[in-house]
């Protein structure tokens, strides 16, 4: 039994945006001040929900600023920093020491990179699929092609498994390759692995196909941010600034979110399977977690740096809480637990 808690090749940056960013970078500010103008952010598509809300609240709070997002693969986001296309990137990978040296020597910029969240990779199935949990060994065998049909996991259905994930250069695919394939090779075609364009398409595909299993960032699966966005923006901003938190208890019910177990000698190979709730991500009992980083090469007197400070500050970290993943900076706060029964 499962024990759960209740609860794309890019177009060039628009000329207008470039001019706005350049103009903003010329302004001088004191510590703690926010400048006017625009900035661009290249973000792994898996974190689109997070960045969208961060931008909306930031621009409401500082109405003379504009943050222009580009939702891309993680590879493209990192390349954008190295090619000086942007001053901000959001990825699950930090720049290496050699990359930092290159940015400093060739681009004449200083790199700041900070962990902003702890995300989890989730497996989802159609509501009509009876499978409700996987072990890490089963996940590995799906990745390497040893498990190709549903009856090898549970039941008698001999239909082939369709593994659905976002684009091949995404942080999710990189995570799976590193965790289960030793960083080498590709996910087995024996499971009909298919890359769509983004996490939204993974979610939509799974809702329509009972024979598919999707791999997706857990930030796409929480109901709390979706419910929060029904509240007028001005009231949301006030809530984010408040010291009191409202903690949501549920994941989406539009698809099945699978629990994951980790059989080891310590648990006699009969472990409890955990769903990717925030509490289980925090304790590590849900095993498929990863860090999310914000990388900045922005000067202090820029909108990009102001946005970096915002996301890594109290309000920005509280917004991350509402997406269903963990903020990296756990500020002291009062917690009101809402029982939706």
Query: 155 and 216 in one domain?
Result: yes
Query: 107 and 42 in one domain?
Result: yes
Q: Residue 153 belongs to what domain range?
A: 134-220+250-289
Query: 296 and 276 in one domain?
Result: no
Domain assignment of residue 318, yes or no: yes
What local confidence, expressed as pLDDT, does residue 208 receive?
95
What local confidence, expressed as pLDDT, does residue 243 receive?
59
Query: 159 and 83 in one domain?
Result: no
**Per-position b or e across 177-201, b if 16+ CB within 10 A of its CB:** bebbeeeeeebbebbebebbebbbb
Give this prediction's pTM.
0.80
What local confidence, expressed as pLDDT, does residue 211 receive?
94
CATH of the domain at 41: 3.40.190.10
Query: 268 and 195 in one domain?
Result: yes
Query: 149 and 204 in one domain?
Result: yes
Query: 285 and 142 in one domain?
Result: yes
Query: 179 and 44 in one domain?
Result: no
Q: Please, where are the H alpha helices in the chain? A: 15-25, 48-61, 74-82, 97-106, 136-144, 171-180, 199-208, 223-228, 233-241, 278-283, 303-311, 314-321
Query: 184 and 155 in one domain?
Result: yes
Q: Give me the average pLDDT of each 10-residue run along the chain (341 residues).
A: 37 38 43 76 92 95 96 94 98 96 97 95 95 94 93 90 89 90 78 86 95 92 65 77 60 93 74 90 92 96 95 92 80 48 46
Query: 265 and 187 in one domain?
Result: yes
Domain assignment of residue 245, yes or no: no
Domain assignment of residue 243, yes or no: no
What local confidence, expressed as pLDDT, does residue 338 receive?
47
Domain count, the chain: 2
Query: 145 and 180 in one domain?
Result: yes
């Amino acid at each position: 039994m499962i024990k759960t808690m209740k609860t794309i090749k890019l177009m060039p940056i628009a000329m207008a945006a470039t001019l706005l960013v350049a103009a903003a970078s010329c302004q001088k500010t004191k510590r703690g001040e926010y400048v006017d103008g625009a900035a661009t952010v290249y973000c792994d598509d898996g974190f689109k929900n997070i960045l969208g809300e961060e931008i909306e609240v930031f621009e409401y709070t500082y109405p003379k600023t504009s943050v222009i997002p580009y939702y891309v693969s993680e590879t493209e986001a990192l390349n954008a920093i190295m090619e000086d296309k942007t001053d901000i990137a959001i990825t699950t990978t930090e720049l290496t020491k050699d990359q930092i040296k290159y940015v400093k020597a060739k681009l004449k910029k200083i790199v700041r990179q900070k962990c902003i969240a702890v995300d989890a990779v989730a497996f989802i199935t159609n509501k009509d699929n009876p499978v409700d949990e996987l072990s890490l060994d089963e996940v590995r065998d799906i990745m390497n092609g040893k498990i190709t049909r549903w009856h090898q996991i549970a039941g008698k259905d001999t239909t082939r498994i369709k593994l659905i994930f976002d684009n091949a250069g995404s942080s999710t695919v990189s995570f799976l390759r590193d965790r289960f394939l030793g960083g080498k090779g590709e996910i087995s075609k024996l499971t009909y692995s298919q890359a769509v364009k983004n996490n939204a398409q993974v979610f939509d595909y799974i809702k329509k196909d009972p024979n598919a299993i999707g791999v997706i960032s857990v930030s796409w699966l929480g109901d709390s941010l979706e419910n929060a966005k029904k509240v007028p923006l001005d009231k949301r901003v006030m809530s984010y600034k408040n010291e009191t938190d409202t903690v949501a208890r549920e994941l989406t019910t539009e698809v099945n979110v699978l629990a994951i177990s980790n059989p080891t000698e310590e648990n006699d190979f009969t472990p409890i399977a955990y769903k990717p709730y925030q509490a289980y991500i925090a304790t590590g009992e849900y095993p498929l977690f990863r860090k999310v980083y914000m990388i900045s090469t922005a000067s202090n007197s820029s909108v990009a740096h102001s946005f970096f400070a915002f996301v890594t500050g109290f309000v920005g970290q509280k917004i991350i809480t509402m997406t269903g993943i963990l903020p990296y900076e756990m500020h002291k706060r009062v917690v009101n637990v809402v029982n939706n029964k």
